[in-house]
Amino acid sequence: MRKNRLSGARLREDSRLPIQALRYAAAAFGGFAADYCALLALKEWIGLHYLVAVPIAFVAGLAVNYLIGIWFVFRRGSFTVQKELTLFLAISLLALAVTEGSMYAFTDLLRVDYRISRIVSGAVTYLFNFFSRRFLLYRVPKETGVLQEK
């Protein structure tokens, strides 16, 4: 009897918003864990200012998030890999701006500890990233379930 293994492709087939959001939450958690650990190491061990450490740590989390996302969350669109990466990085740069802005607002203006600020800003960034990537980068039309050609 043949075992039915779940592959990344099978896991990505269900493009309904709630299911995809749950899968993206897993990818975001993996990326955020890498980001958060890198932030703590850069701030606490190396002594970087948190606003300098955040973008460096963000890149570590971004790499993990991208790899999990293309394997587990989204089906690849009709973009070339180069165009997909360019769009992914553009969305990510906007997400970094959201992260840096919210980190500054929570930590410097509201005087919240940077570790808590990063968790709150991570939730905001999660929502921004998920909807941006879902609707701009990995869009699937409702009628056919087939990826839109761009």
What pLDDT score does 76 carry? 60
Count how many Cα atoms sit within 13 Å of the Cα of residue 62 in the half-sphere of its side chain: 20
Structure tokens at 135: 């609707």
DSSP state letter for 143: T
Give the pLDDT confidence score for residue 45 in this predicted structure.
97
What is the b/e burial string over 107-118, where b = at least 16 CB atoms within 10 angstroms of the residue's CB?
beeeebebeebb
Q: What is the pLDDT of residue 14?
A: 58
Q: How high is the pLDDT of residue 46? A: 97
Alpha carbons 41 and 32: distance in angstroms, whole number: 14
> Residues near 143 by Cβ (< 8 Å), separated by ≥ 6?
none
Tell me if 130 sits within 8 A of 21, measured CB to CB.
yes
Question: Domain-by-domain residue ranges, the chain?
Answer: 15-137
Residues of the chain with pLDDT under 70: 1-17, 73-79, 138-150
Exposed e or buried b per residue across 76-94, where buried means at least 16 C-beta atoms within 10 angstroms of its C-beta? ebebeeeebeebbeebbee
| DSSP code of residue 138 | S
